[in-house]
Amino acid sequence: MSFASASVAIHQLIELQTLKTPDAAAIVFQNQRLTYRELNQKANQLAHYLQILGVKPETLVGICVERSLDMLVALLGILKAGGAYVPLDPSYPQDRLAFVIEDTQLPVLITQQHLCAILPQTQHAQLVCLDTDWQTVAQQSEANPESSVTAENLAYAIYTSGSTGKPKGVQITHQAVVNFLRSMQAEPGLCQQDVLLAITTISFDIAVLELFLPLIVGAEILLVSRDIASSGTLLSNLLSESNATVMQATPATWRMLVAAGWKGNKPLKMLCGGEALTRSLADQLLERGSSLWQMYGPTETTVWSMVHHVEFGDRAVPLGHAIANTQIYIVQEPARRKNDSLQIVSGEGEGEIYIGGQGVSQGYLNRPDLTREKFIPDPFSADPNVRLYKTGDLARLLPNGDIEMIGRIDHQVKIRGYRIELGDIETALSQHPNVRESVVITREDESGERRLVAYVVLKAQSLQLRSTELRAWLKDKLPEYMVPAIVVFMENLPLTPNLKVDRRALPVPTLDAQEEFVSPRTELERQLAQIWTAVLGVEVGIYHNFFESGGDSLRTALLLSRVREAFQVELSLDCLFKAPTVAGFAEVIQAVQSCGSTAGFNTTPTELWADANLDDAIRPHAISALHNSDAVLSELRSGLIAAQPIFLTGATGFIGAFLLQELLLHNPQMTAYCLVRADDCEAASDRLRKSLERYELWQDTFGSRIIPVLGDLSQPLFGLSESQFRELADRVDVIYHSGAYVNLVYPYTALRNANVLGTQEVLRLATQTRTLPVHYISTIDVFHSSEYEEATFISETDQLLSCDGYTEGYAQSKWVAEKLVMQARDRGLPVCIYRLGMITGHSQTGAFQLNNMICRLIKGFIQLGCAPELDLKMSLAPVDYIVQAIRHLSSQPASFGQTFHLVSPHLFTLKQLVADLNVLDYWVTLMPYQQWQTKLLAMPPENALTSMASMFTKRPDKQQTPIETATFVSQAFDTRNTDIGLDGTDIVCAPIDSSVLRIYLLYFMQNGFLPQNSQLTCMP
């Protein structure tokens, strides 16, 4: 069905009706009324005034007005001016009003004088008070204003409640509303003789039918006050006394009327929607009115998308059939999965409701990521611009063509942006030798964030297994985001009567079963315990370790923020790592409040210098010969070519996995001993294989050539016995040390064991029984110090400056580790140091470490819709270039004793990143750094930048943010040694441009890191 008026705007239809029935009553409220002419004239005056204020097509105008004649005047005036209205219900909490006003950046806000007190302060919105400003408004012309608004322009943006608690602004065009109104005019039907009782707040989109449908057919609106609409008795009396012929309401309101004793109005046409209409309520309503209509549709497809004329019966009330110019598809369940094409259900099969047609919204305001996820290209249309909306509702198609609602399909678990199958975690848990059975669910903490909780039954109650031990075991089998934050041990899992696990009966997590629970002893400990419990989502005692109880980067930032608000003290991560219990942290707070500083808890240069002193026992054998003899270096080179066994740390990490593949591919006879944490060799081999598979690197021939070494980089001798350590030293000929704990937020104390002490143990291995050459993977982060602020060029031969200018833990740990390696080199150990810049994914496959800083930046900017105007120059080098360079340089005898800068010659700016994202249809805007910082701090916890927020925000004891420090030292890096070493090869660093970035974004989508973007996948 097509309508001749489909290309006009809403107010133009009302203007046409005004010409036909100028003196008929348009709206009645209490003892007041406006005719069509009066309503049109008042709306015209307001429209002219709004145009003077700058309102034009696509301008969002807020309206916060009590239910009154003025409310309709304001709505119509906004549309006539060319703008789109944003309803703000005066009864809403101030926080919600503030969010909508800020999110929309309203330039104009229409209200009433007495409501100004409840509205949040705003710098960008001009207030128009309809009561006190009307004398000024009334001076404007009563003629219909001219505006360039078209059917494609926005009519309104209504905010609905988001699943995460963050409201979503749904954008609806004039064309969508006009199509809806014309369809409603035909069915359920409305004519000039009707009187529609309007009870719905304008913040609920079904009010669109109540306020605009009567005005395009010449009917009358009987507007009801908020008090009457919320009282069953008062509403019942009004229905009985009025001449209303049509009323629309939710099932809850209709139930309220029935419960209040409403006997019915025989001429009344009843529209019911917004939630499920039960058969019982339907039958009761059918006895009380002339007809009953079931209405179905999400806000995202313009009020109602389906309609059904309800009759008496004994089965569930169906949703009905599509309204005009609307397509309804029932899509088979597999189509919700990645890379599956849409398949329509056959027969009476079940599936998700997808809606297409003229009513589909433009998407969510300022939420491009969510828009791309919920609004997808319509594969059933030849028009590439047509989209379908995924409702999330599960339904079945009935033989007569009607559709019957079943429920929701939102059982998919998504944690921190990652889609997770809970069964995968349960399968991993079942492999633990002490676990009999388990179940994993999600729970929301105080902030509304979902967290994984595992409920575990051990094979024997006498077994001793701590939550921290089980979580550590899982980290070797699963990605970190799949490891449950909390583990609860139970004697048995609760069951339903049909012997299935009763997930609803699973208890709220506590920690008292894991270790002795000690209650707070002081008021300070009590307050801290409340914060601990709120952040972790589990009750804690004063001696429970924050990190062993589920604390991670996200919750660490939240905890410190809550402590700052509660006690007015600024505490660093160092404080938490050094005192990770309620009892210990209470002592820290008392000490800081006493002396006014956290300096006593920060890592000092003295501590770093002490750690930078290499164990005197670590000395190579036959120093002079190895240090001076070309024959020895030649022997080392021949050993590499002959592919003698190597020892590799960090093989399950991003760089390590690619380096392992590169070395194995180019040395077909090479055997690689790889340090890995696991319970046994089989589990270790499985972990190594999965790491390579994750980045699409695995080949079956690798299985026999990779030998796992069960150990831990952070432990003395890697956790091996002395004999095992010596045996390892005897078996390998070359060491590649790629392992490190990479966390740009954690303090030095958290990284010291793996990055510093682990490096010392590598050097110990290299000198244990004979001298083994060491290839050490370092980072240009060793220059992330204010000491280099004035440097314009950093040479490969430059000595590291003092540690005084370092403020971030990772840079501190790599500075100390490199100092240890340099001391070993000075003692005669053959060493190569490779300083890596920022590493990106594979330039051809896109394979990327998804928790990489660059990935989080990209995703976080997309989620926020903005990025800071910061002169950040990034040296982004693809991982394939990095490992090719290391493999080649490490095979050259001239490389020993040298340092190589492996950085891209193509500096990539933050502005270029934003520009490329926009080219690829991910719209991100640049904004001033301080303004962006404010928006960053207000972001929801699911934003990818949450765990990195401290990198962009100042601390009271520092003059610059960490990212600003990085900006100061991102000057030119000398690569002469690298250039000479790679001369004559085809190993070159590809620039990161929009084509490479597109490969990365496709990889992100394929792995669920970013929502699907149809425009991106269609690009050549």
Cβ count within 10 A of residue 17:
21
Distances (CA, A) of 127 to 70, 118, 551: 15, 13, 45
**Taking Cα atoms as reference points, which of 459, 412, 411 lies closest to residue 438?**
459
Measured distance CA(82)–CA(67) in Å, rounded: 23
**Taking Cα atoms as reference points, which of 788, 777, 766, 646 lies closest to residue 706?**
646
| Residue ranges, CATH 3.40.50.12780, the chain | 10-223
Burial 708-734 (b: 16+ CB within 10 A, else e): bbbbbbbeebbbbeeeebeebbeebbb
β-pairing, 387-397 vs 403-408, is antiparallel
Measured distance CA(838)–CA(904) in Å, rounded: 9
| Residue ranges, CATH 1.10.1200.10, the chain | 523-601
Contact 896, 830 (CB under 8 A): yes
DSSP string, 811-822: HHHHHHHHHHHH
The stretches in the chain having pLDDT less than 50 are 4, 162-165, 335-338, 410-412, 416-419, 447-448, 497-499, 512-515, 623-629, 631-632, 636-642, 955-958, 965, 967-970
| Spatial CB neighbours of 252, under 8 Å, sequence gap ≥ 6 | 275
* Phi-psi group of 609: left, alpha or beta (phi > 0 → left; psi -120 to 50 → alpha; rest → beta): alpha
Q: Report the half-sphere exposure of 39 (CA within 13 A, side-chain side).
A: 35
Cα 813 to chain center, whole Å?
Answer: 30
Burial 749-761 (b: 16+ CB within 10 A, else e): bbbbbbbbbbbbb
Residues in the chain: 1020
Q: What per-residue confidence (pLDDT) applies to 165? A: 41
Measured distance CA(819)–CA(765) in Å, rounded: 17
CATH number of 630-947+960-1004: 3.40.50.720
Name the phi and psi angles at 654, rounded to 5. -65, -60
Helix (H) or strand (E) holding 1002: helix 994-1006
- 413-509 has which fold? GMP Synthetase; Chain A, domain 3 (3.30.300)
Q: Return the CATH architecture of domain 523-601.
A: Orthogonal Bundle (1.10)
Measured distance CA(733)–CA(736) in Å, rounded: 10
Measured distance CA(773)–CA(736) in Å, rounded: 9
179-212 per-position pLDDT tens digit:
999 999 999 999 999 999 999 989 889 999 999 9
Measured distance CA(884)–CA(843) in Å, rounded: 13
Measured distance CA(529)–CA(541) in Å, rounded: 7
Measured distance CA(821)–CA(210) in Å, rounded: 76
* Phi-psi group of 30: left, alpha or beta (phi > 0 → left; psi -120 to 50 → alpha; rest → beta): left
pTM: 0.50
Q: What per-residue confidence (pLDDT) applies to 1005? A: 83
| Residue ranges, CATH 3.30.300.30, the chain | 413-509
One-letter amino acid identity for 604? Answer: T
Q: What per-residue confidence (pLDDT) applies to 632? A: 46
**Taking Cα atoms as reference points, which of 748, 740, 680 lies closest to residue 708?**
680
Q: What per-residue confidence (pLDDT) applies to 353? A: 93
Distances (CA, A) of 899 to 583, 755, 768, 818, 974: 46, 19, 24, 11, 11
Beta partners for residue 293, in sequence order: 271, 309
Give SS3 for 159.
strand
Interhelix angle 553-567/523-536, nearest 10 degrees? 150
- The pair of structure tokens assigned to 160 is 């609905």
**Taking Cα atoms as reference points, which of 54, 63, 58, 66 lies closest to residue 29?**
66
**Taking Cα atoms as reference points, which of 337, 328, 398, 316 lies closest to residue 357?**
328
602-660 per-position pLDDT tens digit:
778 888 888 999 999 999 975 433 344 454 455 544 444 445 799 999 999 999 999 99
Beta partners for residue 408, in sequence order: 393
Measured distance CA(284)–CA(275) in Å, rounded: 17
- The pair of structure tokens assigned to 639 is 């050993």
The class (CATH top level) of 10-223 is alpha beta
DSSP string, 693-719: HHTT---GGGTTTEEEEE--TTSGGGG
Contact 648, 738 (CB under 8 A): yes
Burial 945-978 (b: 16+ CB within 10 A, else e): bbbbbbbbeeeeeeeebbbbbbbbbbbebbbebb
